[in-house]
Amino acid sequence: MPQLLTVILNWRTPAMTLQSAEAALREMAGIRGAITIVDNDSGDGSFETMQAEVAARGWDRGPVPVRVLQSGRNGGFGAGNNFGIKAGLPGGARPDYVYILNSDAFPDPGAIRALLDHLEQHPATGFAGSYIHGPDGAPHRTAFRFPSVASELEGAARFGPISRALRRHIVARPIPEETTRVDWLAGASLMMRQDVLDRIGGFDEVFFLYFEETDLCLRAARAGWPTDYVRQSEVTHIGSVSTGMKTWSRIPRFWLDSRRHYFTKNHGYAYAALATLAHVAGGVLWRARLLVQRKDRGDPPHFLRDLIVHSVAGAGRAKAAPAVDSTDNTSPAA
């Protein structure tokens, strides 16, 4: 029987993280493995609170033991998950599969088993992820195509004729109604084959937040390990609890850094520059429409200007700096 390691990353949401762990523990009944909660150096007492609560509930002594680890630094989403993955199962055993679950995500009945069964039945598949919905039952878009120059233009322009012409390049796919192959999936509920991680490495820790799942799935796909969306696996997800994305008043530097790193690492500096030009062109078209139509801007204030300034500054640093091997997963977070 395969062994599964579930990793849940906490950042200052201990009560919610324990609720997520409780749901995962329920869904891992009958599955060999363990749950590791990683506190990403919250500094607010989360680590001690969760340790005490896990012991008080007896989770650390159950058939699927739960443990709480302290990462020691907030290196971001990828670094925190890598810490839990590298720790392996209690006692140092190597799992067959790793399941990463957001602290604000709660597996519905049968969700974890469905992912495990899918990977067991499809040995050529590297990763498998869930159908995600909100607490109100509304589906979330979590199945995507890899970003490209065309998708940057389409996403920024938000113009029907352009979207229809570039429909095969739109990043956010229509929500699949059945299990299907995709380019990449959001990391709120994602199961990974340990053999694949051993081959391609874990998350690239240069990404502090955003684009790390995209990059990981792209590396797996290039190594011959595709990603599947498993419709039978359903997970409730609140979303943006730790990141505050829905309330951004300005696009954060880490998002801009992650976007640039994704394009330059995987496609080169020239392609990254072209992707930014495409986004700016689409953004200018969108803002021209806003002059005559009453529409929600859709972006944080000054987004386009921040993107241009960040891109120009990054190009200057790239010319001055020596080449760096961006596949080194031991790099510090951005």
Domain locations along the chain: 3-139+175-241, 248-320
Let me know: does 272 contact 307? Beta carbons within 8 Å. no
**Does residue 191 contact residue 221 with C-beta atoms inside 8 Å?**
no
State in Å, rounded, how far the first CA of the chain is from the last one.
Answer: 39
- pLDDT of 327 reads 34
Q: Are the CB atoms for 39 and 50 separated by under 8 Å?
A: yes
Q: What span, in angstroms and rounded, lies between the C-alpha atoms of 126 and 249? A: 37
SS3 55: helix
Give 55-60 contacts, CB < 8 A, sequence gap 24+: 59/21, 59/25, 59/35
CATH class for domain 3-139+175-241?
Answer: alpha beta
- 98 pairs with which residues across the strands? 5, 192
Check residue 318 and give its pLDDT.
59
Q: What are the backbone dihedrals phi and psi of residue 42, each rounded to the nearest 5 degrees, phi first?
A: -60, -40
Contact (CB, 8 A) for 232 and 109: no
Nearest CA-CA partner of 92 in 18, 201, 3, 11:
3
Distance of alpha carbon 160 from alpha carbon 143, whole angstroms? 21
Contact 190, 100 (CB under 8 A): yes
* Predicted local confidence at residue 295, as pLDDT: 77
What are the structure tokens assigned to 83, written together? 């810490």
Q: What's the pLDDT tens digit per position in 67-77?
A: 999 999 999 99
Per-residue pLDDT of the chain (334 residues; tens, 9 = 90+): 999 999 999 999 999 999 999 999 999 999 999 999 999 999 999 999 999 999 999 999 999 999 999 999 999 999 999 999 999 999 989 999 999 999 999 999 999 999 999 999 999 999 999 999 999 999 999 999 999 999 999 999 999 999 999 999 999 999 999 999 999 999 999 999 999 999 999 999 999 999 999 999 999 999 999 999 999 999 999 976 545 555 678 999 999 999 999 999 999 999 999 999 999 999 999 999 998 887 777 888 999 999 999 999 887 665 544 333 333 333 323 2
Q: How many CB atoms are closer than 10 A to CB 277?
A: 15
Crossing angle of helices 212-222 and 253-267, in 10° steps, is 10
What confidence score (pLDDT) does residue 328 get? 34
pLDDT at res. 319: 53
**Phi (first) and psi of residue 66, to 5 degrees:** -115, 135
What gap in Å lies between CA 76 and CA 55, rounded to an integer?
Answer: 27
pTM value is 0.91
Return the pLDDT at 304.
94
